[in-house]
């Protein structure tokens, strides 16, 4: 006899238990059958003709009852023991095969979306992850915006997700982003096409020729921007830096200098960018519809630049590439990739527009938050001033220009940048979709499920970073060189999609901080960081700046 559980038979085998009970009953049957009561034991009570018959009847009943009472605990033990053994075998089998992480899918349809958003608006957006990590472990399942998703707060799992790209995981983003950018966007393409495009742009951004030119261009833009600040009674840092970083990026991409063309481009881009996070409805008048129309106008502006550049490239094919348009045009003309669609100029124009996005969010946010954190930490600010004034003094004495390597050699400045990026979490994670069942560290990620590799959870993990909510640039002197420093610090992503502009971004922040602290002092008004839907300052970080002439480094107490 078998009891069936979860559609599988044979888990609880109780045949032997019933056999034992049957044999005991038979034993008592034979005992009483041949008892001195002359076979009257099992007659009905009304047919018993002597007191001794009644006595034998009740004795037999008592013995059978006693046997049952004695056998029930043993039977129960057999059943529960069998169940425990089978469950242990099942758990062991699941561990061998991997199992879906624990967690809660929340309410029907909306899942845990409301809680996720509420935490995003709080002072500690990582609290959503922390609470579930304490309940279910570092990898757990949930449901956000009606989509079952596995969230990883484990640095090693995140590393595997980032590195196993193309054949195992593909990008997965909200529908508004895919609608606005298209199926062939930089965020969505995979395989050889994505790898080649990434390699082309990365090689260009690392070229010595570009580094030298961009150092001069960034210095000029920062100097011009900061000069305008001294004329303003109140500077909203977030807004002013956005103007500066967009100009720098557009010059890098298309060699467009400040002027009317840049202003028109900026207006259209601002209308376009508003649709990245919105309700994905394309009816006239909706946010997504307006952004798509802005993108069409933006593409036409960029395409005009691309067409003019193609003519120039044809006339001077051996001239060095001055911007991203040159790089992509030459790749198309060389036939380097077969997946360029039927209209290669449209392809290039679309990619240039997409590469403008970091100039609108990532860079200005990082610079703004660096000012915010330094304003709140005078000791760190004093140390930063000391280091940068020392380099300025050396350059004045030698009469030499600053170079890329000079800015990158400012060790404490790089510590400030790293600490800002760790705490800011401008890119708080990446979304991927599993193309097949994947097992990582014993966790099963089923085919078709989305995975969120949470960078913010790792960056704010107190087991990795001591006092994670404290701005401490000195921590990077202790961290650099450790075995896990790379996988535990991923502000620019990782794997095949590591941001190709990583070094250029750090250069831009370094130049900005150098000129700011060596030419100005400032006082900041109280402001708060908002983390949802994107990281920004609630009041755009208002400050009052004062030009200063620092002729020598200021003293600073040892930290």
Q: Which residues are annotated as a binding site for heme?
A: 499
Residues 6 or more apart whose CB falls under 8 angstroms from that of 280 comprise 174, 175, 176, 179, 288
Element (H, E) at 141: strand 139-144
| Binding region | 499
Q: Determine how β-strand 429-434 pairs with β-strand 169-171.
A: antiparallel
Question: Among residues 181, 177, 113, 118, which one has the least CA distance to residue 149?
Answer: 113
- Beta-carbon contacts of residue 481 (< 8 Å; ≥ 6 apart): none
Supply φ then ψ for residue 393, to 5 degrees. Answer: -65, -45
Residues 534 and 361 sit within 8 Å (Cβ to Cβ): yes
- Tell whether omega for the bond before 533 is within 30 degrees of 0, i.e. cis: yes
Choose among 162, 154, 12: nearest CA to 83. 12
SS (H, E, C) 435-457: CCCEEECCEEECCCCEEEEEHHH
Residue 489 and residue 192 in contact, taking contact as beta carbons nearer than 8 Å: no
274: closest CA among 249, 253, 259, 295?
295
Alpha carbon distances (Å) from 546 to 105, 242, 393, 533, 549: 53, 21, 21, 33, 10
What is the Cα–Cα distance from 243 to 360, expressed in whole angstroms? 9
By the 10 Å C-beta count (0-12 exposed, 13-18 middle, 19+ buried), 378 is classed as exposed
């Amino acid at each position: 006899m078998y009891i069936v559980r979860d559609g599988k038979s044979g888990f609880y085998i109780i045949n032997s238990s019933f056999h034992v009970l049957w044999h005991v009953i038979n034993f008592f049957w034979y005992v009483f059958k041949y008892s001195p009561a002359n076979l009257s034991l099992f007659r009905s009570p009304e047919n018993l003709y002597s007191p001794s018959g009644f006595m034998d009847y009740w004795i037999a009943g008592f013995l059978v009852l006693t046997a049952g009472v004695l056998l029930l605990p043993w039977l129960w033990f057999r059943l529960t023991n069998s169940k425990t053994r089978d469950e242990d075998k099942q758990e062991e089998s699941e561990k061998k095969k991997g199992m879906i992480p624990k967690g809660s899918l929340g309410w029907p349809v909306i899942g845990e979306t409301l809680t996720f958003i509420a935490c995003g608006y709080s002072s500690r957006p990582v609290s959503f992850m922390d609470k579930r990590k304490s309940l279910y472990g570092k990898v757990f399942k949930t449901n956000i915006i009606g989509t079952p998703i596995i969230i990883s707060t484990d640095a090693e799992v995140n590393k595997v997700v980032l590195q196993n790209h193309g054949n195992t995981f593909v990008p997965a983003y909200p529908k508004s982003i895919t609608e606005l950018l298209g199926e062939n966007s930089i965020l969505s393409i995979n395989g050889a096409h994505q790898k080649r495009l990434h390699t082309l742009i990365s090689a260009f951004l690392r070229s010595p020729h570009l580094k030298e030119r961009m150092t001069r261009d960034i210095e000029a833009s920062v100097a011009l921007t900061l000069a305008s600040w001294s004329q303003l009674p109140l500077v909203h840092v977030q807004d002013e830096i956005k103007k500066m970083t967009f100009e720098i990026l557009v010059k890098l991409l298309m060699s467009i200098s400040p002027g009317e063309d840049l202003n028109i481009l900026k207006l259209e881009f601002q209308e376009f960018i508003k649709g990245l996070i919105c309700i994905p409805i394309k009816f006239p008048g909706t946010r997504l519809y307006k952004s798509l129309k802005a993108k069409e106008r933006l593409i036409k502006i960029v395409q005009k630049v691309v067409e003019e550049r193609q003519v120039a490239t044809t006339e001077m094919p051996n001239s060095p590439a001055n911007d991203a348009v040159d790089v992509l045009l030459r790749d198309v003309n060389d036939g380097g990739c077969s997946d360029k669609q039927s209209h290669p100029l449209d392809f290039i124009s679309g990619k240039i527009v997409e590469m403008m996005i970091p100039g609108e969010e990532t860079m200005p946010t990082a610079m703004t938050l660096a000012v915010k954190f330094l304003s709140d930490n005078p000791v760190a600010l004093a140390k930063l001033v000391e280091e940068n004034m020392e380099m300025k003094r050396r350059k004045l004495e030698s009469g030499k220009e600053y170079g890329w390597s000079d800015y990158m050699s400012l060790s404490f400045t790089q510590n400030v940048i790293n600490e800002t990026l760790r705490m800011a979490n401008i890119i708080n994670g990446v979304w991927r979709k599993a193309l097949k069942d994947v097992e990582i560290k014993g966790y099963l990620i089923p085919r078709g499920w989305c995975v969120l590799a949470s960078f913010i959870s790792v960056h704010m993990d107190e087991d990795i970073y001591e006092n994670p909510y404290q701005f401490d640039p000195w921590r990077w002197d202790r961290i650099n060189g450790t075995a896990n420093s790379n996988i535990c610090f991923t502000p620019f992503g990782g794997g095949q999609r590591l941001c190709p502009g990583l070094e250029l971004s750090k250069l831009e922040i370094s130049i900005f901080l150098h000129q700011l602290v060596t030419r100005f002092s400032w006082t900041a008004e109280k402001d708060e960081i908002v983390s949802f839907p994107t990281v920004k300052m609630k009041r755009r970080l208002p400050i009052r700046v004062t030009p200063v002439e620092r002729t020598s480094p200021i003293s600073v107490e040892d930290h």
